[in-house]
Amino acid sequence: MDQELSEEKLQDLYAWIDTIPLSRPKRHITRDFSDGVMAAELVKHFFPKSVELHNYSPANSTQQKLSNWSILNRKVFAKLNFHVTEDTVKKIVLSSAGAIEPVLCNLREKIDKMLDNTGGNDLEYYSTRNEGKHPNEPHRVEALIQPQLKGGLEMRKDQTITEKSRSAVQITLEMDPAVRQMLQGKEQALMALQETVEILQMKVNRLEHLVQLKDMRIEDLIRHLETYKTRAKLP
């Protein structure tokens, strides 16, 4: 977990953190996350029912910071199949440079994986539904419905692609409630990605517009320069 992250991964991590509403603005990440409170807030943003923020007190003392991280490991991270080692916790608590970023990067991966497995549901819901089940149950369910999904589509060859897809989804939802949760989670993730793409496209359009304005300004300056040169040559 102490691996060094590339500059690209670091920037991607910082951008991800900036999209999450936290109780304190991110100024110096090694100090911001040293007491564990903002790490708890990160998980709560995605799994609201699984984190009780009153268990984590903003702190300057090393002892309270260690206590916060201990509670995180025991009550929250364990549900994500994630654990921060004691040595790493000590480095984070002491605001050691480069200690928190790999932890947050791994935590992000665990969150993304759990969101995919739970279909957007909270961790408590996932733990209850999957009690006594095979750990790869979501993948088994998906594999199970594929032949039935294909069969549903083949039965409606005389209809449009949209009608086929709607029919297949309807058949799937009627067969297993777990599938409904999985599809809803993927749909929400897709909507979030589409929104991100739209925002990025707007930024690209804005940058292109600025480039055009700069090009126009450069051309205008070149014309003025040529005019001055021409006048300077006149007797």
Q: DSSP string spanning 151-164?
A: HHHHTTTTS-HHHH
pLDDT of residue 148: 46
pLDDT of residue 222: 84
CATH of 7-129 among 2.60.120.10, 1.20.810.10, 1.10.418.10, 3.10.110.10: 1.10.418.10
Task: Please state the domain extents for the chain.
Answer: 7-129
What are the C-alpha distances in Å from 69 to residues 44, 123, 132, 178, 225? 15, 19, 29, 33, 64
pLDDT of residue 17: 92
Residue in this structure with the two tokens 């925002």, named with its chain if needed:
199
What are the C-alpha distances in Å from 181 to residues 29, 33, 128, 184? 35, 32, 14, 5
Handedness of CA 212, 215, 221, 225 (dihedral sign): negative
pLDDT of residue 203: 73
pLDDT of residue 3: 64
Query: For the chain, how big is the Rg over CA atoms in Å?
Result: 26
Query: pLDDT tens, 207-219?
Result: 776 777 777 778 7
Identity of the amino acid at 189: A
pLDDT of residue 123: 60
Q: How many residues does the chain have?
A: 235
User: Would you say 20 and 42 are in contact if contact means Cβ atoms under 8 Å apart?
Assistant: yes
pLDDT of residue 207: 74
> Which regions in the chain score pLDDT beneath 50?
125-145, 147-149, 153, 157-158, 160-161, 164, 169, 173
Reduced to 3 states, what is the DSSP secondary structure of residue 134?
coil
